[in-house]
A = this chain, B = another copy of it.
Amino acid sequence: MATITSHFANVKSTVHFPCISNQRRSHLPPLKPTTVRMSMTQQTRNSQPYGASVQADIEAHIKQFLTIKEPLAVFEPMHHLVFNAPKTTVPALCLAACELVGGQRHRAISAASALLLMEAATYTHEHLPLTDRPKPVVKNHVFGPNVELLTVDGIVPFGFELLARSDDGENSERILRVMVEISRAVGSGGVVDAQYRKTMDTRSDGEEVCHVEEIMRVVEKYEGELHSCAAVCGGVLGGGSEDEIERLRKIGFCFGMIQGMAKRGFNEGNEVNEARNLALQELKFFKDKELDAIKILLNI
């Protein structure tokens, strides 16, 4: 079986965007982020778990711009599908990574929101009842397939819009870099590829075929790439160095692998240990920075 470590031998670094100068280049009024709460270390000392705190910040940010307005037939389902999709650690990891490299949480709030929106869209499409899908989908559908389909067609561009509008005149190149990362993670080379693989591995009676190699490939392309992307986005928007960003890419990937394997019943074993050790090793690089919160978030 391919190991977690060997995955990185094939990882090609993506488009390189250098840090931009601090010169103010725009009079664009940026989207105002929601009030930023306490820092990570403050949070970990507090009773509210860090993950719940950042999730609340992200949802509050989205709610600022996703109000229930006319046409209600469009915005009510959008609101419902976004806030009722299962929560994952992907958006929270984006903010945690931003803070880990010394950035303020609000710098990455739009990217974290975009990631939450993309995941809600993916979840909705995955559970859309289609005539050629092998098994009935076990989900209560509040809306019909037509409305769910169209709603997702609204959610995805809304995510990109939120991100594009977050430029404060100083970070447009970083935002474009983050867009490339998100597009790739959710697109044909990432989540969509994983979804195809899942479909191909499903028998006509609806049971998934359990080849460990193939499951690992799906986890890599799904939870692995998504968490990796989230950590990179946070690192880029937090102003991290290229070295920090690449370490975050590995940490995010390892954490995503652990999450994805656990979701499929692999809670222990060589792969899980390998991923945990690799993540811990990379985290040592950040030893002088706020580490408690991200360790709690990553549960490692």
Q: Which residues of A contact B (CB under 8 A)?
A: 15-18, 20-21, 23, 25-29, 71, 73-75, 78, 121-122, 125, 128-133, 144-147, 149-151, 153-154, 156-158, 160-161, 164-165, 167, 169, 172-173, 175-177, 179-180, 182-184, 186-189, 191-193, 195-197, 199-200
Contacts and interface: CB of A to CB of B under 8 A. Distances in A.
9 contacts: A26-B173, A74-B192, A75-B188, A129-B131, A130-B145, A150-B199, A157-B183, A158-B188, A161-B184
A73 B196 contact: yes
B146 A132 contact: yes
Contact of A157 (B23, B161, B187): B187
B26 A17 contact: yes
Nearest to A199: B146
The oligomer's copy count stands at 2
Contacts of A133: 145-146
A67 to B, nearest CB: 11
A164 B176 contact: yes
Contacts of A189: 74
A262 B165 CA distance: 35
Nearest to A221: B71
Given A73-B200, A147-B196, 15 more contacts: A15-B165, A17-B28, A71-B197, A74-B192, A78-B188, A121-B153, A128-B149, A131-B144, A150-B196, A153-B191, A160-B183, A161-B180, A164-B176, A176-B176, A179-B179
Nearest to A198: B150
B20 A150 contact: no
A73 B173 CA distance: 33
A128 B150 CA distance: 11
A193 B71 contact: yes
A81 to B, nearest CB: 12
Contacts of A26: 17-18, 20, 173
Contacts of A160: 160, 179, 183
Contacts of A173: 25-26, 28, 167, 169, 172
A113 to B, nearest CB: 14
A196 B146 CA distance: 9
A27 to B, nearest CB: 6
A172 to B, nearest CB: 4
Contacts of A20: 25-26
